[in-house]
A and B are shown apart, each in its own frame.
Chain A
Amino acid sequence: EAGVTQSPTHLIKTRGQQATLRCSPISGHTSVYWYQQALGLGLQFLLWYDEGEERNRGNFPPRFSGRQFPNYSSELNVNALELEDSALYLCASSPHGGRGETQYFGPGTRLLVL
């Protein structure tokens, strides 16, 4: 069974540009989660999508947004990039978004903002 996949693996942008990160969940999973792992800040929850709807978002500015498609894949968009957005962005999926479900993580997209 294929795991969570993310693309691209690496992304280099300049300040002020927009970045788009993509995630495909494990087959059959309807929930997708996004986390940011920035140096010195640890793993921070960004967004949760389930059945095409945004269910929760973390303490991030509105320029972090995303969506979930009918096939449950997801996209994270970061607008007006700032230097501190440089981080590893991890996507995870779970079967139904139920309470306490295990989240299975992808390999991440490393975003570098110059």
Chain B
Amino acid sequence: AQSVTQPDIHITVSEGASLELRCNYSYGATPYLFWYVQSPGQGLQLLLKYFSGDTLVQGIKGFEAEFKRSQSSFNLRKPSVHWSDAAEYFCAVGGRGGSGNTGKLIFGQGTTLQVKP
């Protein structure tokens, strides 16, 4: 079954510290991979995406993610966290498999990031 796992429900980091949010997926083929961020009461904003090519992807707000096929992972990183990064982060996969285009994104349960001053 297709699924996305974000092992960390809640993470707290100090402002200025580095950040890594984990994402593991289960999918029949190499999926399209996305990271979105959601601030309280808001919709989802796309941070970055992986379709093909270079496995290290750069996104907005200084975020990057690395696709590791062997580990079925797509972890999100930021070298120095700012207080404004406090939000909920979602990893998602979309299909490119032989079953056709379902249009569906499968989301992980999300990781809530708290930033300490």
Contacts and interface: CB of A to CB of B under 8 A. Distances in A.
Nearest to A91: B43
B32 interface: yes
B51 interface: yes
Interface stretch (A40-48, A60-68, A72-80): A40-48
Interface in B21-78: 32, 34, 36, 42-46, 49, 51
A46 B96 CA distance: 19
B103 A97 contact: yes
Chain B interface size band reads: 20 to 34
Nearest to A100: B32
Contacts of B114: none
Contacts of B96: 99-100
Nearest to B50: A100
Contact of A105 (B43, B95, B103, B109): B43
Interface residues of A, number: 27
Nearest to A110: B41
Contacts of A55: 103
Interface of A: 4, 6, 31, 33, 35, 42-43, 45, 48, 50, 55-56, 58, 90, 92, 97-108
Interface of B: 32, 34, 36, 42-46, 49, 51, 90, 92, 94-96, 101-110
Given A58-B104, A100-B94, A105-B45, 12 more contacts: A42-B107, A45-B103, A45-B104, A45-B105, A48-B102, A56-B102, A97-B101, A97-B103, A98-B101, A99-B32, A99-B96, A104-B46
